[in-house]
Each structure stands twice: as structure tokens, then as C-alpha cells.
């Protein structure tokens, strides 16, 4: 850091990158990550199956040092712990390749944005099962995903309300 005559601080790009946690621009991303996700704990056998498929792919392609991330959480929940950690690592240009069994395993909605984000940060996104849908089919699938998400929230609120009512009745007696 240097100071001007008017006492302003001057920082180099390297100092700024270091301060905000970015790697040097000349460092190439090195991590290979395979990401598996299911929506609920009841689907854990599916999580194991996803991992087996990804492991078989990694072995077949001769990729070494692949880290596996397994997560249980909804695809519309963008606050998943491991998902956020993966996005942070991508933002710091630490991830070279992200391998997914299906594109909806990363996120149920807005996959293209996350794919673009990863690619602009030096990360190649590789999806094993590319399902080609017409624009109409894709829109219907997106709408069904959103309706399912909000109906699940509404159902959860009803259960919460019933529990509150039951505890209020028990407390009054």
C-alpha cells in the first residue's frame, strides 16, 4: 500500500485480490468436483446411486483426485451449505471441473445462470445425462417445479399451524 500526497491509500490489484480472497490470476483452477444431491433423507439410496454413477464415470475417464460432494436439500434452496461452499470455491477460481449426473442435481431452476457463473470463473460444467427438451416442455417442467415448491411450503405451514393450535389448546387446559 502506498499513500498519495493527499493521504489517499493506493492498493495494487494483487493486494485487493488477496484481501477479498481471490487467487492470483496466473493460478489455474485445480479442483475436480463431483456433486450429488437428493431432496430428502428418504432418498439417500438415490444419493448413493448417483455417487456410484459419478465414480464409474471418473474411473472410465481416468480422472484423478476428484472430490465428491453429497448433499440432502431441495434444489430450489440456494442456501444449502455445500452448494454455497461450491459456489464460493468457484468464485475463487479453485474448481476446474464440476461433474453432475443430471443438471437438476445442482439446482432445479436457473441452471444456465449457475453454469455461466462457473464457466466465467474457469470451471467447466460437465453433465452426464443431458436430457433435451423442447422449449414448451422445459417451460412446463419449470412451472411444475415452482408449483411443487410452493405447495410444499404451504403444506409445511399447515402442519406448523396445527402444531401451534395443538400446543395452545394443551396450554390452556
Q: Is 39 a catalytic residue?
A: yes
Task: Give dist(CA 33, CA 78) in Å, integer.
Answer: 18
Q: Which backbone phi and psi does 85 adopt, to 5 degrees?
A: -60, -40
Q: Choosing from 6, 39, 151, 167, which is the catalytic residue?
A: 39
Q: Residue 126 pairs with which residues in a beta bridge? A: 99
Cα–Cα–Cα angle for 120, 123, 124, rounded to 5 degrees = 110
SS3 (DSSP) at 34: strand
For residue 117, give the C-alpha cell. 457463473
Residue 44 phi, psi (nearest 5): -60, -35
Q: Which residues are catalytic?
A: 39
Amino acid at each position: 500500500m502506498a499513500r498519495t500526497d493527499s493521504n489517499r491509500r493506493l492498493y495494487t490489484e494483487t493486494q485487493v485480490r488477496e484481501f477479498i480472497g481471490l487467487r492470483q490470476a496466473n493460478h489455474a483452477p485445480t479442483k475436480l468436483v463431483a456433486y450429488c444431491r437428493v431432496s430428502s433423507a428418504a432418498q439417500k439410496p438415490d444419493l448413493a446411486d448417483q455417487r456410484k454413477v459419478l465414480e464409474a464415470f471418473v474411473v472410465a475417464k481416468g480422472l484423478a483426485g476428484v472430490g465428491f460432494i453429497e448433499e440432502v436439500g431441495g434444489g430450489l434452496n440456494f442456501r444449502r451449505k455445500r452448494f454455497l461452499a461450491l459456489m464460493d470455491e468457484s468464485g475463487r477460481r479453485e474448481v476446474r471441473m464440476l461433474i453432475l449426473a443430471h443438471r437438476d442435481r445442482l439446482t432445479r431452476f436457473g441452471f444456465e445462470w449457475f453454469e455461466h457463473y462457473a464457466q466465467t470463473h474457469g470451471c467447466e460444467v460437465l453433465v452426464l445425462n443431458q436430457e433435451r427438451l423442447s422449449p414448451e416442455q422445459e417451460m412446463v417442467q419449470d412451472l411444475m417445479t415452482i408449483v411443487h415448491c410452493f405447495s410444499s411450503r404451504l403444506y409445511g405451514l399447515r402442519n406448523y399451524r396445527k402444531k401451534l393450535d395443538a400446543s395452545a389448546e394443551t396450554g390452556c387446559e
